[in-house]
Amino acid sequence: MNKKIRWITETAILLALLVSLQYITKPMGQLVTGSCVNAILAIAALVGGLSSGLTIALVSPVLAFLLGIAPQILTVPAIMAGNSVYVVLLHLLADQNGKNLGKQIAAWLLASVAKFAALYFIVVKLICGVLSESLLASGTLRAPMLKALPATFSWPQLITALIGGAIALAIVPALRKALRK
C-alpha cells in the first residue's frame, strides 16, 4: 500500500476512534475520557508516527470543544500544546521497534509528566493566574470557570496521561504485529 494512503488511513481511523471515545465516554467524566484520549495520542505517536500523532494532538481539542468536552475555547490552544508535548516526547524517546521496554516506560513517564507540567503552567499559572484579571475584565473568562479550570488542569492531567500511556504500551505491540510494523 502507498505510504501516503496508509498514513491517511491510519490517522483517520485513530481520529475517528478518538472522537467516538470522547463522545461515548463524556458522561463518564474526565478520568475516563482523558485516559482514552491519551491512549489514542500515544498509539498514534508510537504506531502512526510523529506526523500522525501531531495531527491528532492538534485536531482532537477542537473536536472536544465542539462536542462540549473542552470547558472553554480559551483552553483549546493549551490542550493542543499539552497533547503535542506528549506525542513528541513519546515518539522521540520511546524505542520505535518496541523491543526496549525500559525505554518505552521512561518515555511514557517523562511524556506524562511533561504534558501535565505544560497544561498546569499554561492554564493554571498563566490563564488562571497572570492573565486572569484581564480575561475577567474583558469577559473572555467568567469567575466560575476561573475557579473550575485549576481542578481540571492539575493532577487529573497527570493521571489521565499515565493511564492512557499504560493502555497504549499494552496495545501497541499487538498493533505493530497486526500492521506488520
Q: Report all structural domains of the chain as residue ranges with CATH numbers, in order of start.
A: 3-179 (1.10.1760.20)
Q: Which residues of 71-110 are buried (b: 16+ CB within 10 A; e: fewer)?
A: bbebbbebbbbbbbbbbbbbbebbeeebeeeeebeebbee
The pLDDT of residue 37 is: 96
28-42 pLDDT tens trace: 999 999 999 999 999
* Low-confidence spans in the chain with pLDDT less than 70: 1, 71, 181
The pLDDT of residue 51 is: 96
The pLDDT of residue 83 is: 98
The pLDDT of residue 77 is: 95
